Structure 1
Amino acid sequence: MEIAVIGKDEFILGFRLAGIHKTYAAETPEKLTEAITRTLEDPNVGILVLQSTDMEQVPRKLQVALENSVKPTVISIGGETGGLSLRERIKRSVGVDLWK
């Protein structure tokens, strides 16, 4: 399983430096939606990382799909995020509450 990161150049730069290969720059909402849709269809991606402000820019139907996605597990970083907490997402994808 691989990690994929989608967002603006400044956001994905640190992930590139950390060695994550699947990083996709998306400066407009249209490119963001396209990159997310393509990544959701990739069977090799286990975790998708997005910036929380980018989550708000995609259509509502795609937001719901991201919030309910188990594979890949979607993690939004930065600011207040709606939907499930990281703990709940891990619990849903792994099937066990790792915090217990």
Structure 2
Amino acid sequence: MVEIAVVGQAEFVIGFRLAGIQKTIAVGDDEALKNTVINVLKDSSVGILVLSSSDMNRLPLRLRNQLEESVKPTVIAVGEEEGGLSMRERIKRSVGVDLWK
């Protein structure tokens, strides 16, 4: 089963937890954020990783680039578009089909 993981500040993840997403991880400082994201990337059960745009910007450049290129899990930054790719483009790259057409 493919899971959705949400990583970020407690205020960010609580809404997803209330919506029924089980794999929500609240982190505080930049080091905890980086380590948690790296661990989620290694988790083969995670198909979609959701971060806030501000948390995405807190990550080291190399890790951000890895996330922007990741297909599994597909990484979605909620807020402004990240890396020039909209959510539509990320989903299209992940599943191979433009779901909006």
TM-score of the pair, normalised by structure 2: 0.94
Q: Structure 1's 80 and 87: CA in aligned 2 closer, same or farther, altered over 3 A? A: closer
Instruction: Write the distance in 2 (CA, Å) between the matches of 1:90 and 1:19.
Output: 21
* Cα distance per residue 1:35-82 (max 9 Å; x no partner): 000000000001100000000111000000100000111011123533
Count of aligned positions: 100
CA contact (8 A) 2:81 2:87 kept: no
Percent identity between matched residues is: 61
1:59 aligns with 2:60: yes
**How large is the RMSD of aligned CA atoms in angstroms?**
1.0
Q: Structure 1's 12 and 91: CA in aligned 2 closer, same or farther, altered over 3 A? A: same
- Structure 1 residues not aligned, in runs of 5+: none
Structure-2 residue corresponding to 1:2: 3
Structure-2 residue corresponding to 1:86: 87
CA contact (8 A) 1:4 1:48 kept: yes
The within-5 A match list for 1:1-100 is 1-100=2-101
Shift of 1:4: 0.2
* Cα distance per residue 1:14-37 (max 9 Å; x no partner): 111111111111111100000000
Following TM superposition, the consecutive aligned residue runs of length 4 or more in structure 1 with deviations greater than 2 angstroms are: 79-83
